Amino acid sequence: MDIQMFPGLTEEVCDKAFDITSTAFKTAGLMEVTNRTAGTLVVVNPLASPSSSDPSKVGLDEVEEHLVFSRRIDLRHLMARKFDEIALTKARDIWVLRSLLGPNFSGLDIQVRFPHLYVPGMTKWHGGICEGGVPVAFSGVQGHYDEAAARTFITWAIAICRNSMARVMESDSAFIAGSEAEFMPDPTLTATLPATLPLLGNRGTK
């Protein structure tokens, strides 16, 4: 049986989307649109669910356990660890509130439209988004530019997945597989996700 390969939201897909995002972000810095060219981007597994519907009860360690991708722009920036923490907090808030607000919303939506959902421990800064059910957050500059970076990333990640899916649709197979060694007979399963990636360390950035 011909089984068409479709890897889903993998590290390779995220790496490509991040490279494009990083290039655009650095260009904005060179043009003095932003005040620095440093920050952290994190992506939460869209198929995972948090342990609580209350953001104050979901620790950042739980968020890290469910990351599918994380990278820094300027690995050695003096504020890099602060950016890590804020990006994780933004992602946590988006991830937890996704069950209430749906697959497409932003931290700015929470700030402007749903301030009644704030609880102690949430960040006031926007820059996190949920797009197609995928929680993504960036921290490094002003919130509106952080959000632009997050949106640039997920727009390209989804576009790359769509391009792969176009090849799947050209196949005669009715099923999808994540690797040559895998066969997933459930036609509703469209992607597999890699193991959790460490946020810190020398996995580095461009």
DSSP string, 14-71: HHHHHHHHHHHHHHHHHTTSSS-S-EEEEEE-TT---S-SSGGGS-HHHHHHTEEEEE
**Taking 90 as the threshold, does the pLDDT of residue 189 lie above it?**
no
Q: If you count them, how many residues does the chain have? A: 206
Residue 151, pLDDT score: 98
Cross-strand pairs, 40: 72, 139
Beta bridge partners of 5: 177
pLDDT of residue 201 exceeding 50: no
pLDDT at 57 > cutoff 80:
yes
pLDDT at 164: 83
Question: What average pLDDT is seen over the chain?
Answer: 85
Distance of CA 204 to the CA centre of its chain: 16
Does the reported pTM lie above 0.85?
A: no
Task: Give the strand pairing for 39-44 and 134-139.
Answer: antiparallel
pLDDT of 37-55, one tens digit each? 999 999 999 999 999 999 9
Q: What is the structure's pLDDT at 167?
A: 75
Question: Do the bridges between strand 128-131 and strand 105-106 make them parallel or antiparallel, or are there none, so unpaired?
Answer: antiparallel
List, in sequence order, every residue forming a beta bridge with 69; answer none if it has no partner: 43
Structure tokens at 57: 């009860």
Predicted pLDDT of residue 204: 47
Query: pLDDT tens, 96-108?
Result: 999 999 999 999 9
Is 168 or 65 the better-scoring residue by pLDDT?
65
**Helices then strands, each counted (H, E), the chain:** 5, 7
Q: Hey, what are 46's tokens? A: 């869209």
pLDDT, tens digit, 9 for 90 and up, residues 112-135: 999 999 999 999 999 999 999 999
Q: What are phi and psi of 4, to 5 degrees?
A: -75, 135
